[in-house]
Structure 1
Amino acid sequence: MQIALAPMEGLVDNILRDVLTRVGGIDWCVTEFIRINDRLLTPTYFHKLAPELLTGARTGAGVPLRVQLLGSDPVCLAENAALACELGSQVIDLNFGCPAKTVNKSRGGAVLLKEPELLNEIVTHVRRAVPGHIPVTAKMRLGFDSPDGALVCATALAEGGAAHIVVHARTKTDGYKPPAHWEWIPRVQEVVKVPVFANGDIWSVEDWRRCREISGVEDIMLGRGLVSRPDLARQIAAARAGEEVVPMSWAELQPMLQDFWGQVVEQLTPRQAPGRLKQWLAMLTRNYPEAATLFSALRRETELDAVGHLLGVKRTEAA
């Protein structure tokens, strides 16, 4: 079984990837999507969104990172994929699942599920452009507004050369509304010979067990569930091994928040930093009552030292 940390644009950046992968249980993670339009990006731009490329394409905990590209131009995507490999990416992932309206309007993400021939063309071009030993993978949803074309799209990706496919078990129109339709995943696995990962609505060990039973697949990708419960991957890995599952306590989580805050202050501007912390803290309120209390205290706070004080950090330094 492999457990992956999902790419979530505007949320799971290099800082949160670093903090979450230190907890354990995560086998690999993915960058936020790197948007490809009509030009070859610079190494500087790749390093901005994937600074792990400077350290062997691994997080501080040694967890492998793969670069994710998003776009609709097969040739340009292929050229940028080749550059990403030159910069050190060991895997190239392609995004066909983003549901954001602004992304879809510019022919990126889930809207491409309306064009299975283009999906195949994109994967084929990228596969040919990168070294043979570097896998090309893909993430998709069940469709744009209906799952009727899910099997055709998955087949197009696999035949194009995708080494595995992550399926977020909702359509674009579904957004993130529950439930995730895990029952479609075995249907996808039936039509492709490559591994299929289940993704969507896995918030707990119990959810994982139900997902495995319904989907029939072992490999999973965790997104919001892992961000809101940082040890979820570790819990699932323990459960899979038949070991005792001991959830992370708030006391154990507090040093992670302090570490996160320290990196945020170092890498972001004083204006950006408090909001970045509040974003993650708001998601933690789903599982930690203490997070709700802290979020309430921080809600209107914008001064770095005041935020640090509430986190138990004596002093912070602005970037």
Structure 2
Amino acid sequence: MPSPSIPQRRANPIQLHLAPMEGVIDHHMRELLTALGGYDLCVTEFVRVSDRLLPERVFHRLCPELAHDGRTAAGTPVVVQLLGVDPQVLAENAARAAELGAPGIDLNFGCPSRFVNRKGGGAALLDYPRRVHDIVAAVRRALPAQLPLSAKMRLGMEDDELALENALAAESAGCARLTVHARTRADGYRAPARWERLAAIREVLSIELVANGDIDGVAAWRRCRAVSGCDAFMLARGAVARPDLARRIRDDEADHAMGWEEVAGLLRRLAGMMEADYSDRNRGTRIKQWLAMMRGYSAEATRCFERVRPLRLYSEMAPRLG
């Protein structure tokens, strides 16, 4: 059976975004992946906002790119993501991030963490579209008119009944772009992403809709584009498991993945980038984490993971990376 074709009516160039993943896609990983090419922008791990204006060092810690015009070494813009529940405090922190040089602000309405949700943040806000609207509106008012404001959400908490209402709330309050992870919070990461629900959301929005969820290969991207109707896509786990995925999607090339020698070189490069910030043991943990995420896509990664799994220090692992 042939792969789903992309309807001719969508002639727009595609946009590829690198997702935030707490403890996985940090500034080191952003630099590494954007250097491979293919990405139009990145979003930081969320800056957790509670009841006060955060000091500048918090923003620089999660987004060191602020010291370089808000871009990675490859020149890819890095949008600062905020997570919180108080509209005014979020607005104040968004204004600070803008003053520090963030090229855009993103609001988190999708985090599935139980701790975050118990505090009323992340995906828990999707039970209250009016709160979504109020947060977006407050942040939009606090930002320079030319600075882009975006948001990321799931389809909902327990179900997707409010998905359209939340999307419209974000748009009407001033979002210029909306990313939707095509699962509910209850789905976690287990159930297949429901790209068809993105098509319904896209039909009611006039702003750009970014598809997210289960885009773990070129074939999956083709299906997502055909089903959702989207031309913008956010890559997360797939980007880590297949480091050249954005480049391959950009070229619409499914068959020529990078070889293991090049992947092993990336592992070593990441370890080298982390040396100033992490202990030998923590670097080892990060390298094993990355290998574990690649196992489902690469036999070589599986074998390498088995070689280094008993080891704790990166210095012990380095000779066994292949």
Do Structure 1 and Structure 2 share a fold, with TM-score over 0.5? Answer: yes
1:184 and 2:194 correspond: no
How many Å apart are 1:244 and its aligned residue?
Answer: 7.9
Q: Give the match for residue 136 of structure 2.
A: 123
SS in 2 for 1:272: helix
Equivalent residues of 1:264, 1:276 under 8 A apart: no
Q: Give the match for residue 302 of structure 2.
A: 292
SS in 1 for 2:24: coil
1:228 and 2:264 correspond: no
SS in 1 for 2:39: coil
Q: Give the match for residue 264 of structure 1.
A: 274
Decide whether aligned partners of structure 1 residues 111 and 244 sit closer, same or farther in structure 2, where only a CA change above 3 A counts: closer
Deviations 1:226-255 (A, max 9, x none): 11001111111101xxx6852111122121
1:252 corresponds, among 262, 265, 268, to: 262
- Take 1:233 and 1:190, find their aligned partners in 2: how far apart are those partners? 26
1:203 and 2:213 correspond: no
Q: Give the match for residue 274 of structure 1.
A: 284
SS in 1 for 2:29: helix
1:154 corresponds, among 153, 167, 172, to: 167
1:101 and 2:114 correspond: yes
Structural mapping, 1:42-81, within 5 Å? 42-81=55-94
Deviations 1:82-105 (A, max 9, x none): 000011101000000111111111
Moved over 4 A (4+): none
How many Å apart are 1:308 and its aligned residue?
Answer: 2.4
Letter in 2 for 1:19: L
- Take 2:96 and 2:266, find their aligned partners in 1: how far apart are those partners? 34
Equivalent residues of 1:264, 1:273 under 8 A apart: yes
- Take 2:281 and 2:317, find their aligned partners in 1: how far apart are those partners? 12
SS in 1 for 2:193: coil
Q: Give the match for residue 227 of structure 2.
A: 214
How many Å apart are 1:26 and its aligned residue?
Answer: 1.0
- Using structure 2 for the length normalisation, give the TM-score: 0.93
Unaligned runs of 5+ in 2: 1-13
Equivalent residues of 2:218, 2:254 under 8 A apart: no
- Using structure 1 for the length normalisation, give the TM-score: 0.94
Equivalent residues of 1:90, 1:135 under 8 A apart: yes
How many Å apart are 1:274 and its aligned residue?
Answer: 1.2
Deviations 1:103-146 (A, max 9, x none): 11112110100110000000000000010110100001000010
SS in 2 for 1:148: coil
Equivalent residues of 2:178, 2:208 under 8 A apart: yes
- Take 1:120 and 1:199, find their aligned partners in 2: how far apart are those partners? 21
How many Å apart are 1:265 and its aligned residue?
Answer: 2.3
2:39 corresponds, among 26, 32, 52, to: 26
Deviations 1:291-319 (A, max 9, x none): 1111112112123421222236xxxxxxx
Equivalent residues of 2:180, 2:198 under 8 A apart: yes
Deviations 1:262-283 (A, max 9, x none): 1122211233221111111111
SS in 1 for 2:20: coil
SS in 2 for 1:46: helix
Q: Give the match for residue 317 of structure 1.
A: none
SS in 1 for 2:36: coil
Percent same amino acid among aligned pairs?
48
Deviations 1:155-183 (A, max 9, x none): 00000100010010000000111310000
Equivalent residues of 1:238, 1:245 under 8 A apart: no
Q: Give the match for residue 4 of structure 2.
A: none
**264-273 or 248-257, larger mean C-alpha shift:** 264-273
Q: Give the match for residue 316 of structure 1.
A: none
SS in 2 for 1:169: strand
Letter in 2 for 1:269: S
Letter in 1 for 2:48: R
Letter in 1 for 2:209: V
Equivalent residues of 2:182, 2:193 under 8 A apart: yes
1:135 corresponds, among 148, 157, 160, to: 148
Q: Give the match for residue 50 of structure 2.
A: 37
Letter in 2 for 1:172: R
Unaligned runs of 5+ in 1: 313-319
